[in-house]
Chain A
């Protein structure tokens, strides 16, 4: 059964203090791994898709990387506006109807 876990559950950083969020997954053949950002009271906002081990994607202060068992979302010199919940999701090759499995999320707080 496809599974996604994320750690830590919550992370509190000082502004400018770089760190990484982890997403560990179990899937029978990875079709894609997705990162989303969700602000309180809003729907998830798409950030990245990663398809194969070794792939990296960057957007402003965020960089997502992928290995065969996990993905990291690196946040460099974060700002308070980066505070949000970050969700990881996976889609397996055997998944029907293009559905994805979401992890529980990491709640990030960046303190000025």
Chain B
């Protein structure tokens, strides 16, 4: 298993600004994932981050809006750029320690005014 922490846990931001979310894993993981979860909805995958290569984005998500860094096997960041109220959501990161199961962080609750 893996224990994952995220910072910040929540934030309120003004439109047009950017927020960087940090994700830290207590062990090395090959794959890390970033999800968005709207209130009352299931998880939507934003992108997959593999250490040493560019992130792979899902349809509807682009690097200019959601740049991701993966500098090592225990850390990743997701930036939500040029925010609008439609970006208000919970952002979750997860890690796959190698057994196919993903373990999730507690999430970052973002509100954009």
B residues 83-108 near A (Cβ < 8 Å) are: 92, 94, 96, 99-107
| B43 CB within 8 Å of chain A | yes
Q: Is the interface of B mostly helix, strand, loop or mixed?
A: strand
Shortest beta-carbon distance, A102 to chain B, in Å?
A: 5
**Chain A positions 93-110 with a Cβ under 8 Å from a chain B Cβ:** 96-100, 102-105
The answer, yes or no, to whether A24 is at the interface (CB within 8 Å) is no
Interface size class of B (residues with CB under 8 A): 20 to 34
Task: For the complex, count residues of A whose C-beta is within 8 A of B.
Answer: 22
Q: Given A31-B100, A97-B56, A46 and B43 touching (CB < 8 A)?
A: no
For A88, the closest partner residue in chain B by CB is B42
Which secondary structure dominates chain A's binding surface? mixed
Residues of B contacting A104 with CB < 8 Å? 41-42
Residues of B in contact with A (beta carbons under 8 Å apart)? 1, 4, 31, 33, 41-43, 45, 48, 50, 56, 92, 94, 96, 99-107, 109
Chain A residues in the interface with B (C-beta under 8 A): 31-32, 34, 36, 41-46, 49, 87, 91, 96-100, 102-105
